[in-house]
Structure 1
Amino acid sequence: MILINPTDRTFNSWRYYEFSDFILEFSFSIVYATVLFETGIQLTAWLNKWYSWDRRIKSRFVLQFILHIGIVSIGIILFFKIKFPHYFGYDELMLRQTVIISVIFSLLITAVFAAEYFFHKWHDVKLKTLEMEHLTTQAQLDALKLQLDPHFLFNNLSVVTALIEDQPSTAISYVAKLSSIYRYMLMNRTLNVIPLAEELEFIKSYLFLYQIRYGNGINVRIDEIGSAALSSVPPLTLQLLIENAIKHNLFSTESPLNIHIYFRDSQFMVVENNKIPKTNPEPSTNVGLKNIMERYRLLSDQIPLITDENLFFRVEIPLIDPHHSKL
């Protein structure tokens, strides 16, 4: 302990040391430093399992600091119970000095592990942000591909042409809704989440196009939003779900596709439709559903719940508090 207690009294005691005493003293110092750091490492690993840093940084720091001091102090006190020759100077003064040094190093070690947590957290958030931007961009590209598809444009232009002759006022509304779809995507292309009310307004414009084309072949019922209005969802979530329902089902005026959008406990938005499977179903890659699931994995602790029964298909979308999302 001479190496960590350089007082005049200790220096004078060196005169009585033999070479083996210096080796022993050096070994004690190495063991002391090893115990300090190894205890911090093992304690951090143990607390990470039972009391992680997430959302309780202050209490975790204090807990780890106190436990570290306690464990090391107990070891030091037990060490000083050993009877060494008097010239080693292992007395009450050295005990107090060693404990004080332990407190200082315990504080520094705990601070290092806290800084390590902040660094890894920052790095994880950065990676998740980049991944989220990629997924959001991919969702927008998928939606744009669908809407810029020649068949999509041709069908909509054909509808407008027919409406201009017979229902000019409806044609004007149709063009206005079509333009609002593109405006919505351009305005929200860089956002991770948007207010639920905006997503619902967008989907009403989007559904207007289909209902003009298919008439009563598609029936959509949207319940009152209520207190869920304060929540958010990833952009284009509803569009991807509705496109999924239209893509995989047959429908007509006699056997319509019924889509019901409602809100459960102000925590979930539920999109449910009856199933009328196509005779020759299109190959499905579930790209839309996978995109939604991946974005929720990054944004929230909850993920959408999919229920696929014989008569209906349901997706429960967790509503996100914009102030407590992961990104």
Structure 2
Amino acid sequence: MGKSTTQEKLFNRYYRIFIFPMIFLLYYLLSYLVNPFSGYWEELWKQKWTDILIEGVIMMIFCALITEMSLIIARQLNKIMPWNEKPIARSFIQLLLQLVSVGLLLAVLYYTLFFIFGPPPKATKPPDKLDEWQFVFVCSMLAILISAVHTGHYFLQRWKTSMLEASELKLKAAEFKQIAMQAQLQSLKLQLDPHFMFNNFSALSALIMEDKDVALSFLENLAKVYRYMITNLNNDIITLAEEEKIIRAFAYLIKIRHGDNVVIDIDIPASIAGRGVPPITLQLLIENAIKHNMATAARPLLIKIYEDDSGRLIVSNRIQRIRHQIQSTKLGLENIRNRYRILSDQQPVIKEEDGMFIVVLPVLDI
């Protein structure tokens, strides 16, 4: 608000410096263009230079008064009758007030000249009424022109203010959207804890009763994986190289839980190892494959992680569905979809073909 007021004051200051002499010159230019054959021009050059100078000063003051009156009328109407409320009525009233103000100023000018120069000498012929009306017309046009310039500046300032406000609103909306997305992403990350911990603590509980040494090793690897999860809770994307390290530790947990019934084949080439995926994505997909498919010695469940020809990461497994399985909450796949939706315009592709369940993961820049 303070900045806008300062700009308005600066505009008014420089506006007057420019407009006063400009209106003075326009007065004579318009007067000449309206009637270049008027006797006024012939009589003007017959006057003494002192009279011409006095008339010039008086007309300069008169043009300044027209300018000020026009600005005052426009500014006051902006307060009591803004353009956006009643534009037609505003135009009519502003025009009427401009003409009335010009009439009052002309009356003041007439009596001022009468006081300075006295009554005009008796002319040999009656005064030219056309010259008088042209004078009134030119003054009225100047007032309207001044008002139009001021109104144009007013509209320009309002447009600039509206554009700035719109930009600020868009920026705030983007900030709020970013905050909401971050909150949603954090919520999705927190969903990983129970999904992961339930499966592995169940296995650990059974191992403690069966083999304490294996249970200890299992617990160490479980702690390593869980530490990774906690460490990367604040990371939106993790490199595939880091993800592979923890998946190999996670594969040990799977080996203890399922033996040779589950085979995890990991082949992440160096060409994409520096790029990333949302943390724990591969772990969720492995858990999802094990949850929904049978894994037996006769029919081991093969899970493969590799790069396709397009540089995307593929996680696939043979479809060996459990016949009477508990209805899926689809937490894992939805979690992955939602995190990709927030982080990128690329989305995972989930499909079944040729007896394989395939998840195609875009690899993201870090």
Question: Under a length normalisation based on structure 1, what TM-score does the superposition of the two structures give?
Answer: 0.66
* One-letter identity of the residue aligned with 1:122: E
Contact 2:208 2:215 in 1 (8 A): no
Q: Alignment partner of 1:141: what SS? A: helix
Residue 105 of structure 2 corresponds to none
Partner of 2:245: 201
**After superposition, what is the alpha-carbon deviation per residue over 1:169-212, rounded to whole angstroms, capped at 9, x for unaligned?**
x8876554233122212322333322222111111111122224
Aligned-partner Cα distance in 2 for 1:205–1:221: 13
Instruction: State how far apart, in whole Å, the 1-side matches of 2:143 and 2:318 are.
Output: 82
Q: Secondary structure at the match of 1:133?
A: helix
Deviation at 1:259, TM superposition (A): 0.8
Task: Tell whether 2:282 aligns with 1:231.
Answer: no
> Which TM-score applies when normalising by structure 2?
0.59
- Name the residue aligned to 2:108: none
Structure 2 counterpart SS, 1:191: coil
Provide the aligned C-alpha RMSD in A. 3.5
Give the partner amino acid of 1:9.
I
Distance 1:246 1:12, change over 3 A: closer
Corresponding position of 2:165:
112
1:137 is the counterpart of 2:187: no
Instruction: Render the CA deviation track for 1:4-47: whole Å, top value 9, x for unaligned.
Output: 99962145579xx9xxxx9xx88xx7446888xxxxxxxxxxxx
Write the mapping of 1:176-195 to structure 2, written as runs, cut at 5 A: 176-195=220-239
- Cα distance per residue 1:210-253 (max 9 Å; x no partner): 22443332222111332322222222211111111111111223
CA contact (8 A) 2:70 2:146 kept: no
How far, CA to CA, are the matches of 2:68 and 2:230 in structure 1? Answer: 76
Q: Name 1:154's counterpart in structure 2.
A: 205
Q: Does 1:103 align with 2:156?
A: yes
Q: Is the 8 A contact 1:306 1:316 kept in 2?
A: yes
Q: 1:260 aligns with which of 299, 304, 324?
A: 304
> Matched residues in 1 for 2:65 and 2:287: separation?
83
Matched position secondary structure for 1:253? coil
TM-aligned CA distance change 1:147 to 1:217, over 3 Å: closer
Distance in 2 separating the partners of 1:264 and 1:159: 42
- Indicate the SS of the match to 2:272: helix
Specify which of 283, 288, 295 is matched with residue 327 of structure 2. 283
Q: Are the equivalent residues in 2 in contact too, given 1:140–1:236 (CA < 8 A)?
A: no
Change in Cα spacing, 1:137 to 1:262, as seen in structure 2 (3 Å) is: same
Instruction: Determine which of 250, 270, 286 is the counterpart of 2:294.
Output: 250
Q: Specify every segment of 5 or more residues in structure 2 that has no aligned partner in the other structure, as ranges.
A: 1-11, 17-63, 88-136
Give the whole-Å Cα distance in 1 for the aligned partners of 2:348 and 2:68: 70
Change (3 A) 1:266 1:228: farther
Check whether the contact 1:275–1:310 (CA below 8 A) recurs between aligned residues. Answer: no
In the alignment, structure 1 residue 9 sits paired with structure 2 residue 53: no
Q: How does 1:276-315 map to 2 (within 5 A)?
A: 276-309=320-353, 311-315=355-359
Q: In structure 1, how many angstroms separate the alpha carbons of the residues matched to 2:172 and 2:182?
A: 15
Q: Is the 1:304–1:316 contact (alpha carbons within 8 Å) kept by the matching residues of 2?
A: yes
**Is residue 317 of structure 1 aligned with residue 344 of structure 2?**
no
Instruction: Please list, as runs of the form range in 1=range in 2, the aligned pairs for 1:115-130 lying within 5 A after superposition.
Output: 115-130=168-183
Instruction: Write the deviation string for residues 122-159 of structure 1: whole angstroms up to 9, x where unpaired.
Output: 111111111111111112232123323xx321244356
- The residue type equivalent to 1:139 in the other structure is L
Is the Cα–Cα contact under 8 Å of residues 136 and 192 in structure 1 kept in the other structure? Answer: no
Code of the residue aligned with 1:207 in structure 2: it is: A
Q: Is the 8 A contact 1:233 1:319 kept in 2?
A: yes
Which stretch of structure 1 is more off in the superposition, 129-138 or 193-202?
193-202
- Please give the alpha-carbon distance, in whole angstroms, between the structure 2 residues aligned to 1:309 and 1:298: 28
Q: CA deviation at 1:113?
A: 0.8
The runs of 5 or more residues in structure 1 that have no matched partner are 36-83, 165-169, 323-327
Change (3 A) 1:85 1:281: farther
Q: Secondary structure at the match of 1:157?
A: helix
* Matched-pair contact (CA < 8 Å) for 2:239–2:276: yes
SS, match of residue 346 in structure 2: coil
